[in-house]
Amino acid sequence: MTDVSRDTFDQVMVPNYSPLKVIPVKGEGCKLWDKEGNEYIDFAGGIAVNALGHCHPELVNALKVQGEKLWHLSNVFTNEPALELAQKMVDNTFADKVFFANSGGEANEAAFKLARKYASENFGPEKNEIISFKQSFHGRTLFTVSVGGQPKYTQGFEPLPQGITHLEYNNIEELVKVVSDKTCAIVLEPVQGEGGIIPADKAFVEKVRELCDKYNAVMIFDEIQTGMGRTGELFAYMLHGIEPDVLTSAKALGGGFPIGAMLAKEKFAAALKVGTHGSTYGGNALGCAVASKAFDIISSQEVLNGVKEKRNLFNTKLQMINEKYEIFDEVRGEGLLIGCALKEEYLGRARDFMVAALEQNLMLLMAGPNVVRMAPSLLVTEAEIEQGMVAFEKAIAKVLSA
Ligand SMILES: *Cc1c(COP(=O)(O)O)cnc(C)c1O
């Protein structure tokens, strides 16, 4: 076997990432181990992907069983795991139809293309404006970074797709002013993830719904991070008592196996007629078999209720830490999507806390430079939360004393 190390990354990988020094080689539940056998508590969860932890035995089994049966066919044929998964998604959500992709960005790409197609076919080509929000994140393809509201991700990639307007998130007044008959879609994350764990106000979500109805615009919820149990509901739209027209899912959907999905109401799905869109791997049997098992486990009431209980314990522990060290302005986000927003004097230092936590064998995330983020397995135990919080407190003490 080729001998590799962290240095190999700098030698042979495109420098678009800057990975930490530790290279995990094995995972089980909320634990990870590196080559030297050091054990880590994982509250990063592959950035909200490993919703059932690492190597959940039932997912491993689903992968093995399907792996010995059938992996891939092409879309000239359909396959049973894809049909089963789509049926479950339709039965348990607002949606009538499902399109499978391999990632979140691709699911969003499908959603944005659907919105444009629906509008141009039903109302004409002038209806092409996509309204999106500042700080939002929707993926890294050229269309999805352009819809996303973080200019740093589009700089240097111009010319960009046109017809996209970025407004202030949660600002009803501005939205009302800008939305028009030209608007073909309004897209938002119910909790902005990469943008800093910022939840949408209920009134804002309701207004988006109302305006989409009024102007025949497609209401797209990007639930790639908030979806699949993360908030304690199967999808975060369920917290708001409204239904979007189109919803995208990925990350937790496959529990670590790459898969994405776009869910849509019949009326809108009809715009993607035969031949209008596609994906070679999207809906492959292997990915769908794993996701189908993940869906069964995540959608159980026991797991969803557990998310809310676990969040309460996180809140209690984080509050105790904050009373002692006074570093967070607020702890926000829904369920097990937790954002600890740093106080003014610590702005820009989320990475310092993340690196210090790793030295205490705890894996955390950032959501921008000012927010420490946690997105652990939905199955994280009370003992693991307590152990992780002890490590987090030590890391904070170190940063403050440095
Ligand atoms: C991660 C993420 C994406 C992009 O998903 P990829 O699988 O990386 O393409 C899109 N939207 C949101 C809200 C995300 O969190």
For ligand 1, what atom is nearest to the CA of residue 103?
7
What does 61-75 look like in DSSP terms, one character per residue?
HHHHHHHTT-----T
Which residues have CB under 6 Å of ligand 1?
103-105, 108, 137-139, 189, 193-194, 222, 224-225, 250-251
Task: State the distance from the centre of ligand 1 to the C-alpha of 99, rounded, in angstroms.
Answer: 16
Report the CATH number of the 6-55+301-401 domain: 3.90.1150.10
190 — phi, psi (to 5°)?
-65, -30
Ligand 1 atom at minimal distance to the Cα of residue 141: 9
Domain 58-298, architecture per CATH:
3-Layer(aba) Sandwich (3.40)
Ligand 1 atom showing the smallest separation from residue 222 Cα: 13
142, 153, 224, 366: residue to mutate for ligand 1 pocket, most atoms within 8 A of CB: 224
Ligand 1 atom nearest to CA at 194: 15
Question: Which residue type occupies 76?
Answer: V
Report how far apart the first and last C-alpha atoms of the chain are (Å, whole number): 41
Ligand 1 centre and the CA of 325: distance in Å?
A: 33
Q: 84: CA distance to ligand 1 center in Å? A: 24
Give the Å distance between the CA of 69 and the centre of ligand 1. Answer: 30
Question: 158: CA distance to ligand 1 center in Å?
Answer: 21
Q: Domain-by-domain residue ranges, the chain?
A: 6-55+301-401, 58-298
- Rounded to the nearest 10°, the torsion over CA 150, 156, 162, 167 is 20
For residue 347, give Cα distances in angstroms to 57, 111, 259, 316: 40, 35, 35, 23
**Entry pTM:** 0.98
Q: For residue 368, give the DSSP letter.
A: S
Please, what are the averages of pLDDT over each run of 10 residues along the chain (402 residues)? 92 96 97 97 97 98 98 96 98 98 98 98 98 98 98 98 98 98 98 97 98 98 98 97 98 98 98 97 98 98 97 98 97 98 97 98 97 98 98 98 91
